[in-house]
A and B are shown apart, each in its own frame.
Chain A
Amino acid sequence: MRHGFGVIAAGILLVTAGVAAADDVGRVKVVKGGVAIERGGRTLPATVGMAVQEGDVIVTGRDGAAGVTFNDDSLLSVGPDSALAVDRFAFDTTTHAGRFDTSLRRGTLSTVSGKIAKQSPDAMKVRTPSTILGVRGTEFVVRAAPVAP
């Protein structure tokens, strides 16, 4: 029994250690208030150290805020009542070629672009409900009010 518990504890440690997997594209660094990651139809509570994957949607509640560092050193953070979808992330660590597409569905977003935007000026795009932002190596903030029903 004691031995069995040890095995489970070791398993949990492995999960929480933030072991980088091939499809990890970034990592949650800041979590304030209610923050979740929607992944493949499931809603997972976000924690610091959690890996972010392509297709994830980062969702914050009324008191929530979250910050993610991506593998190309881009920093994206959202304020309360926000939803940010990671549509596409590809980054070659040797050539720095890649693509980075996100969508701010609602809320506020702060962005510091990283190596993908630095290597090729059209490789990073942020979509909002009304606009497409082409990132030419820069820092910016965006607010998209929720669309009224």
Chain B
Amino acid sequence: MRRALVALALLAAGCARTVQVVTPPPAPPARDETIVLLPGPDGKVGALTVTHEGQQRTLDAPYAAARVQRQGTLEDGGRLTAEQVQQGFAAALGAQPPRPVRFVLYFLDNSDEFTPQSKLEITKIFAEIAGHPSPEIVVVGHTDRVGSLTYNDALSLRRAERVRASLVQMGIRLEQVSVAGRGEREPLVTTEDEIAEPRNRRVEITVR
């Protein structure tokens, strides 16, 4: 055993001597990356795939973390606490813009006029706008499934444009409002094709 150790030491010394004439390889680039999945405000978590040089990890639990450090391998970062995340990422989290807030407006039957409840919603929209820096209002029209996809795309956009006109009349600046039509793609209530459904004939307004 002792002899083996001496032999190893000699071997190492020999190696060291030869290494001295060869320029050492460049140090690997300094790496220190941390990725942490967070729960949303409702507590729900999504998923995040982290890929590094052919290795992959999926984060799908609240506060699950992945790390790449100097060694250059993708490692399990365990689970962090909410406090650790708040401490480590305070400035970035503190600079998060306000979350977009969504309102839904309905029309009286065969009319451009909002239902009384929707008129109330509009006052809430104005209050929300006041709380957003450089506020943008996005008006998105929706239809039910009566008619073709193309027809409903055009109809939903017209609906959104009508609402934009109303909002501008109420004092919102035209350049703050953008419009889009989602046609029949995003029904509130799922129906078969060609089924009339008033709850799907709506306009959604997002303040962001």
List A residues at the B interface (Cβ < 8 Å). Answer: 17-20, 27-30, 32, 48-49, 65-69, 73, 75, 77-80, 82, 93-96, 107-110, 112-113, 128-145, 147-148
Contact string against A for B residues 72-92, beta-carbon threshold 8 Å, 1 for contact and 0 otherwise = 101000000000010011111
**A–B Cβ pairs within 8 angstroms, 28 of them:** A20-B136, A20-B178, A29-B132, A30-B96, A65-B95, A66-B95, A69-B136, A75-B99, A77-B97, A79-B90, A79-B91, A94-B185, A107-B92, A108-B88, A108-B89, A108-B92, A110-B96, A129-B29, A130-B68, A132-B50, A134-B51, A135-B46, A135-B48, A139-B39, A141-B92, A143-B32, A145-B31, A148-B30
B134–A27 touching, CB < 8 Å = yes
In B37-78, the 8 Å CB interface with A consists of 37-40, 45-53, 59, 66, 68, 72, 74
B37–A140 touching, CB < 8 Å = yes
State how many angstroms separate the Cβ of A80 from the closest Cβ of chain B: 6
Q: Does more than half of chain B's interface fall in helix, strand or loop, or is it mixed?
A: mixed
Asked whether any CB of chain A lies closer than 8 Å to the CB of B182, the reply is yes
Given contacts A20-B136, A141-B38, 18 further A-B contacts (CB under 8 A): A17-B173, A18-B176, A30-B96, A65-B94, A66-B95, A73-B206, A77-B96, A78-B92, A79-B89, A79-B91, A80-B91, A110-B89, A110-B93, A131-B50, A133-B48, A142-B34, A142-B35, A144-B33
Contacts of A68 in B (CB 8 A): 97
State how many angstroms separate the Cβ of A131 from the closest Cβ of chain B: 5
Which among B30, B33, B92, B180 is the interface contact of A77 at CB below 8 angstroms?
B92
Most A CB atoms within 10 A — which of B92, B96, B98, B185?
Answer: B92
B37–A138 touching, CB < 8 Å = yes
State how many angstroms separate the Cβ of B97 from the closest Cβ of chain A: 4
List B residues at the A interface (Cβ < 8 Å). Answer: 29-40, 45-53, 59, 66, 68, 72, 74, 85, 88-100, 132-134, 136, 140, 153, 173, 175-176, 178, 180-183, 185, 206, 208
Q: How far is the CA of A128 from the CA of B176 in the complex (A)?
A: 34
Q: Does more than half of chain A's interface fall in helix, strand or loop, or is it mixed?
A: strand
Contacts of B136 in A (CB 8 A): 20, 27, 69
Contacts of A27 in B (CB 8 A): 134, 136
Contacts of B30 in A (CB 8 A): 145, 147-148
Which among A28, A32, A129 is the interface contact of B33 at CB below 8 angstroms?
A129
> Known contacts being A30-B97, A94-B153, is A20 close to B175, with CB within 8 Å?
yes
Q: How far is the CA of A20 from the CA of B95 in the complex (A)?
A: 23
A-B contacts at CB below 8 angstroms, number: 173
Q: How far is the CA of A66 from the CA of B95 in the complex (A)?
A: 5
Q: How far is the CA of A75 from the CA of B30 in the complex (A)?
A: 29
A134–B36 touching, CB < 8 Å = no
Q: How far is the CA of A143 from the CA of B91 in the complex (A)?
A: 12
Most A CB atoms within 10 A — which of B39, B48, B52?
Answer: B48
> Known contacts being A133-B48, A140-B38, A142-B35, is A147 close to B95, with CB within 8 Å?
no
B74–A78 touching, CB < 8 Å = no
Contacts of A95 in B (CB 8 A): 185
A79–B92 touching, CB < 8 Å = yes
